[in-house]
């Protein structure tokens, strides 16, 4: 039902192509102007130019770089909504869910669940398993600034990625190929490739793409099974926000004034950081969510055909 939501609007391929261009320009051109200006000013003042993430963090500072980087995603999100509304005549609600209205209870359920679980994992590791891998990094003033930036802008960054990939991308590919499995696979791989220039890839190698693509696959599955983006939006927001606040490292894309700093050898983290979430934790989460929301007919929802409704008389899934 979620991909069929696209048929409530206009689904011509050219509209998605133009919309994709609008989204890219909003995100990577217009949205990057503030960051570009800040770098230019710092270099003009005598700073050393650097175009990789660690270099830009060193030049601008953690909080300023994070703020300016997240601005680009916020502008990109506007690009998604503008494209959906103007080109496809599809409302934000219909881009989000098949329900009568956006179910924020779903969002907050998985946000709190994953926020608590991921925080417990970090604290257990810090206090009991490998405390030698962490140093206390907390400073009140920069942390409070980080908290404000994170709460206001990180959900916009994660929402952009969800609406662009699981929303706009799945709608386009689903209406183009008339099936569900190709949109699921292609958007998951594309989501993984979005992170290929992250510093983590340089440190851990391309094996980390298993985590990125696996996370995209998990988010795509819960979107298709639940007939909406609410769970994907909540999980992704919690994942990035709690990570940014709790722990950072010199070799990650999210370098922040977090409470803890990871000083371990990144090569030694591959097993726990990459394979455990994808092959153990995500399947457990799928089981929990399937029981809570009564998911059935997995084969058809994930692999079945996408059929254009004969008219505009759509079935609306009721609230739970």
Using the structure block, give the residue that is written with the tokens 């409302």. 91
CB atoms within 10 A of CB 291: 9
Residue with more model confidence, 220 or 316: 220
Please give the pLDDT value at position 150: 97
Spatial contact of 278 and 84, defined as CB atoms under 8 Å apart: no
CB atoms within 10 A of CB 260: 20
Please give the pLDDT value at position 269: 64
Reading the block at residue 284, the tokens are 């457990």
Secondary structure (DSSP) of 171-204? HHHHHHHSBSHHHHHHHHHHHHHHTTTSHHHHHH
Kindly state the helix (H) or strand (E) to which residue 136 belongs, with its residue range.
strand 134-136
pLDDT digits (tens, 9 = 90+) for 247-297: 998 888 888 999 999 998 877 666 678 899 999 999 999 999 999 999 999
Average pLDDT, the chain: 92
Please give the pLDDT value at position 270: 62
Per-domain boundaries in the chain? 3-303
Using DSSP's 3-state secondary structure scheme, residue 1 falls into coil
| pLDDT at 94 exceeding the cut of 80 | yes
| pLDDT at 314 exceeding the cut of 70 | no
Query: Which pTM value belongs to this model?
Result: 0.94
Nearest residue to 149 (alpha-carbon basis) of 43, 226, 73: 73
Kindly state the helix (H) or strand (E) to which residue 134 belongs, with its residue range.
strand 134-136
């Amino acid at each position: 039902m979620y991909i069929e939501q696209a048929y409530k609007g206009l689904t011509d391929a050219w509209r998605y192509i133009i919309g994709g261009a609008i989204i890219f320009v909003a995100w990577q051109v217009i949205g990057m102007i503030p960051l570009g200006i800040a770098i230019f000013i710092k270099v003009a003042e005598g700073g050393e130019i650097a175009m990789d993430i660690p270099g830009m963090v060193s030049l601008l500072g953690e909080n300023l770089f994070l703020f300016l980087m997240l601005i680009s995603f916020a502008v990109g999100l506007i690009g998604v909504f503008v494209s959906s509304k103007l080109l496809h005549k599809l409302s934000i609600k219909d881009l989000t869910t098949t329900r009568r209205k956006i179910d924020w209870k779903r969002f907050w359920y998985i946000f709190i669940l994953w926020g608590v679980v991921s925080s417990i994992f970090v604290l257990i590791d810090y206090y009991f398993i490998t405390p030698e891998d962490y140093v206390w990094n907390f400073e009140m003033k920069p942390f409070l600034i980080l908290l404000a930036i994170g709460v206001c802008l990180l959900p916009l960054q994660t929402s952009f990625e969800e609406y662009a990939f699981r929303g706009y991308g799945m709608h386009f590919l689903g209406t183009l190929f008339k099936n569900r499995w190709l949109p699921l696979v292609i958007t998951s791989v594309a989501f993984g490739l979005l992170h290929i220039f992250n510093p983590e890839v340089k440190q851990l190698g391309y094996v980390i793409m298993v985590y990125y693509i696996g996370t995209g696959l998990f988010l795509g599955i819960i979107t298709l099974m639940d007939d909406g983006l609410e769970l994907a939006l909540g999980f992704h927001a919690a994942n990035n926000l709690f990570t940014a606040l709790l722990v950072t490292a010199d070799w990650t894309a999210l370098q922040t004034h977090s409470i803890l700093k990871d000083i371990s050898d990144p090569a030694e983290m591959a097993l726990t950081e990459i394979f455990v979430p994808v092959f153990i934790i995500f399947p457990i989460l799928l089981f929990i969510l399937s029981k809570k929301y009564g998911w059935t007919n997995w084969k058809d929802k994930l692999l079945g055909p996408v059929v254009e409704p004969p008219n505009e008389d759509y079935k609306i899934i009721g609230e739970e």
